[in-house]
Amino acid sequence: MVSISLTRTAMGRLRPHQPSLVRFCGVAPGSTRFASLGLSEPPKRLSTQALPAVGSKVGAMLGLHHVPTIPPTSPFFAATKSVIVQEIRRQVARGTEEPFFVVDIGAALDRLSLWRWFLPRVEPFYAVKCCPDPNLLYSLAQAGVNFDCASRGEMEQLFELGVKPDRILYANPCKQPSHLKFAALRRVPLSVFDCEGELEKHAALHPEGDVLLRIAVDDSQAQCVMSCKYGAPIVSAKRLLARAAELRVRVRGVSFHVGSGCFSAHSFVEAVERAAFVFDIAESIGMKLDVLDIGGGFPGSDDGRLSFADIAAPLNGALGQMFPLSRGVRLIAEPGRFLAEKTHTLAVNVIGKKVVNASEGGDGTTRYYVNDGLYGSFNSVVYDHAKPTAQLLTPSGALDFSSEELYPSSIWGPTCDGLDCVIQNTQLPDILVGSWLFFERMGAYTCAAGSNFNGMPLPQKVYLREAASSCASAISLRQVKSQHQPHLVATAT
């Protein structure tokens, strides 16, 4: 029986992990998973000393070979929803009409703690493409995260923040030659290939650099597929490894991506099995590989059909079995959405409303027009297959739709394009023009790809927390502006 006590301070320290730990353990009194931890009732008092004991149980359930220890306490706990809503109201009260993001970098740092708790052997290389927000990159770099870049521009952004080249993986399997030359010049040590042409390019332009062989894996269980474009079929692995040896390009290991927004833990396990097979092929031709890159695909929050813990448990089992510590393989990953999604909340203004009367030949629905759309932050609806959820800002918080009369409605972006529909066929209460809607979890694949089409401005950003402002001072405002972010407004909570 593990006895647990939780002091107020320890409770504060454990906040980021606790929900997942609790969720994973099924901590409701009497639950069987809870009982399997040897606990008879939920932890009311929990001391940090007691955690390794719980950790070892959790570790065993996860199939880990060493017990995860509590990561160093981060002062950046995620802001609560009420703090974010309060900040939205504060901005609205200042008289703004433009859309804006409230950014909480603490949410990413909490997710990082979760990562280190559940996948302690796997080093995250944050996929910059997901959200290249300079404050986010800076904070992650400070927290010891490395980076996955797809281009010269992304690498340059990191160099400007002081990130050293050896913390960068140039993970684009098809590289523009001048970008690869840049990587060589700056001594970025590791990149990725998936075909002979790319190997030859590498041998010619970055002969000092090492590579990972990206293999195709099953990505059919993901929101966004990738293997249609990248990844070598497993049958070509031997030929490609042999060709690399001929060209004197050092292959260090294997990478894969199960697709972004993957909702199958099995996809990860199967991909690890495939990778292990390639390690064996390499060994059979006298090549010793020592890096496994398990890519991205991890969920941005734990509210969906598959939580991070649900993936981590079997994934750790597969890694422990096929790549035990004794094998000496460095395990890395390229999470994007996992770290970025919860950092941004988007607030948009209702700039117009049209009731399309059935009696006049319309469909009887109400169309709301807001000032950010598919060409801006909601490009995620097109590129990321996102399904944003609107909430209505009220003086006291968010309106609870369940107690309202609802009408068939749709939400449209501000451009003149008929495609620019953010949400079709939804049920909304009667909303006045001038009201504010907000959308949580808008950090992944949103501001990364928005445009100013039709002259529409992209949302400004309001950063919560003082840490963000000190970080902002480390980055020149000029640089921030050059990244399409009209303003950096740092406010203390």
Taking the complex as a whole, how short is the minimal distance between the CB of residue 340 and ligand PLP, in angstroms?
8
Closest C-alpha among 328, 309, 306 to residue 317: 309
**What is the C-alpha separation between 124 and 333, in angstroms, rounded?**
5
CB of 171 to ligand PLP, least distance (A): 5
Q: Which is nearer to ligand PLP, 340 or 462 (CB)?
A: 340
CA distance 389 to 397: 16
Cβ(180)–Cβ(218) below 8 Å: no
What distance lies between CA 164 and its chain's CA centroid? Answer: 22
DSSP 401: G
Bridge-based pairing state of the strands 391-394 and 397-398: antiparallel
Identify the CA nearest to 229 among candidates 240, 239, 219, 241.
Answer: 219
Nearest-approach distance from CB 51 to ligand PLP, in angstroms:
28
Closest approach, Cβ 306 to ligand PLP, in A, equals 13
Three-state DSSP class for 396? coil
334 neighbors 295 (Cβ within 8 angstroms): yes
User: Using CB atoms, what's the residue nearest to ligand PLP?
Assistant: 296
Of 139 and 409, the one with the shorter C-beta distance to ligand PLP is 139
User: β-strand 291-293 against 330-333: which pairing, if any?
Assistant: parallel
Its sign, for the CA torsion 75, 76, 78, 80, is positive
Collapsed DSSP state (helix, strand, coil) of residue 317: helix
| Shortest distance, position 130 Cβ to ligand PLP, whole Å | 5
* CA 402-82-408 angle, 5° bins: 30
Dig out the tokens for 384 from the structure. 């990321």
CB 192 to ligand PLP: min, Å: 7
Q: In this complex, which beta carbon is closest to ligand PLP, that of residue 127 or of residue 370?
A: 127
Of 6 and 128, nearer to ligand PLP (C-beta) is 128
Name the minimum Å distance from CB 259 to ligand PLP: 7
Pair 348, 393: CB distance under 8 Å: no
Active site residue 416: yes
Pick the closer one to ligand PLP by CB: 218 or 334.
334
Alpha-carbon distances, residue 429 vs 92, 162, 310, 408, 426 (angstroms): 21, 49, 36, 9, 10
Nearer to ligand PLP by C-beta: 257 or 344?
257
Binding site for ligand PLP (CB under 6 A): 127, 129-130, 148, 171, 257, 260-261, 295-298, 334-338
What ranges make up the beta strands (E) of 112-228? 122-127, 146-149, 168-170, 190-193, 210-214, 222-224
Min. distance of Cβ 446 from ligand PLP in angstroms? 12
Q: Name the active-site residue from 149, 195, 228, 416.
A: 416
Amino acid in the structure at residue 60: A
- Count the residues in the chain: 493
Closer Cβ to ligand PLP, 37 or 137, answer by number: 137
Nearer to ligand PLP, 169 or 431 (CB): 169
Contact between residue 168 and residue 150 where contact means Cβ atoms under 8 Å apart: no
Residues 6 or more apart in contact with residue 455 via CB below 8 angstroms: none
**Residues noted as catalytic:** 416
